[in-house]
Structure 1
Amino acid sequence: MTPEDAESFERTLELGKEIAASLPDHDVLGRWMAHHIGDLIIRAETASEAEADDVRRETATAVLALWNHRAALPISRPPLDTFEPVFTALERLSEPQDPWDFYRMFQRGSEPSEDDMAAAPLLRIALNLEEIVRRVVRTIVTVAAREAADSEAKWLRLSDHVEDDEQRAARDAILELARTLETYAGDADGQPAAGDTGLSKLINDLLRAEAQLAEARGALEDRLPGNRSESESGGPV
């Protein structure tokens, strides 16, 4: 076994120990799986030179098989599971977003034109609200992506030697999408300030949304029958 193979095997053992420790004692299947993995690890660590390669191969194969099927483990929250809903959301938000495309209220090609919005100013308000809501949602999801990476840090560290892992690839895609979305939203380097998790940017986006909503509310209040008649007669609005 080469030094590289030995290092990879030791890291696989560490991964197997953590999986075994995470399996619940109260679940029959979980208890059996934990015992089976634990037994293989003990055998691998105590095998004679003549048996070492075969036992290590069997142990590594079993641990990686469990890892590749971690979504089915009898654990309340399987490893890296936090990334799944975040990945789905980021994938949706990373799609090209033309005006009126976020809520998809109009069929493609039939969106209101500039002339339409000039004739019906409320359409312009609706479009502005769509953009600010999209920005807020995008920022919230990128913050969620960072939190998912933090909460899964242990499993990411233990599995970073595992090759061809679809969920790891999804995790890398999540972080790349988050960086892309942050850059699209106007962040120059796509990274939060030291000690910041992205919450300050989210708060700023929410303040912009509040201002946009206040503007929309004012425009709608101006259209109330009482306000309109007072405005037209020169009275207070």
Structure 2
Amino acid sequence: MPVGILELGQILVEELNLDPGVDTLGRWMAHYVASLIKEAESEQAPKLKQERSKEAQEAIQSLWMHRSIYENRINPLADLKPIVQALRNLDPSNNVYVLRNEGTGYVYDIFRRLIICLLLRKAESASRVSGAIARAKSTSKFQNDDERALIEALEVWLGDTLTKEMPEARRSSSKLPEVKTVNLDNTAHGLIGEARKALDYLESEIERTGGKRNSNSKG
């Protein structure tokens, strides 16, 4: 059996066995794949060993090929679905019109990070999300380009969201915060404070630009 397929099968078995919420189907999958791998490795007769290896390889590849339909850890994004959906909706590249103005861009950035922080808080802890990312990365070499890019972006977004400094300060720092040590309540309070400042800034910007428009209209 190719080493890569065997490695993938062993990772899937381990992840399913470690998943506290795994269902009956997941337990059956773990047992089935583990038994196929064991038979392939223990078989001594060359012809039978080849047959067992082929059977195990096909089962592992079939599971992996259809990974997106599973709600267990065969799907590397299963534990990250709620966060992934929110991040896609809040991705600045999908809302470029709000970044054309300094004030609205400032407000959008703060509220985007605040919403993601609150979602992480609802997910119980940043360390849990960080653990889900680590699990997803364990099969990265078997994933397609879109999955790898999404997981890498999620890791960056997570660090960005949990950094409380202003955007200029964040851009000047290449080191992401240690996720496991972050207190999400404190982070949320800090972002709420920033949100108030952002709204004050936007209000003053509206007053400035509104005054100029009124002056131009009178002239």
Query: How far off is 1:162 after superposition?
Result: 1.4
Unaligned segments of structure 1, at least 5 residues: 103-107, 112-126, 218-237
- Corresponding residue for 2:152? 172
Instruction: Report the more deviating stretch, 130-139 or 194-203.
Output: 194-203
Match of 1:135 in 2: 110
Q: Offset of 1:33 from its aligned partner? A: 3.6
What amino acid is aligned across from residue 210 of structure 1 in structure 2? Answer: R
Q: What RMSD, in angstroms, separates the aligned Cα atoms of the two structures?
A: 4.4
Closer/same/farther in 2, CA of residues 43 and 67 from structure 1, 3 Å limit: same
2:67/2:75 contact within 8 Å kept: yes
CA contact (8 A) 2:40 2:52 kept: yes
Q: CA deviation at 1:66?
A: 1.4
Of 166, 185, 190 in structure 2, the residue corresponding to residue 204 of structure 1 is: 190
Check the 8 A contact 1:90/1:178 in 2, yes or no.
no
Opposite residue 172 of structure 1, the aligned amino acid is E
One of 79, 83, 102 as aligned partner of 1:82: 79
Q: Which of 1 and 2 has greater Rg?
A: 1
Deviation at 1:84, TM superposition (A): 3.2
1:83 positional shift = 2.8
Does the 8 Å contact 1:12/1:60 carry over to 2?
no
Q: Paired residue for 1:95?
A: 93
**1: CA distance, partners of 2:177 / 2:91:** 23
Deviation string for 1:159-200 (max 9, x for gaps)?
133143643342123335557887992302353344644856
Q: Is the 8 A contact 1:40 1:59 kept in 2?
A: yes
Aligned residue pairs, count: 186
Which whole-Å deviations, capped at 9, do the CAs of 1:24-82 have from their partners, x for residues lacking one?
23xxx556544432331221221225133443343133223213323433649954223
The separation in 1 between residues aligned to 2:51 and 2:80, in whole angstroms, is 35
Q: Find the aligned partners of 1:141 and 1:156 in 2 and give their Cα distance.
A: 21
Structure 1: distance between partners of 2:74 and 2:37: 24
Alignment-mate amino acid for residue 41 of structure 1: I
Q: TM-score, normalised by structure 2?
A: 0.58
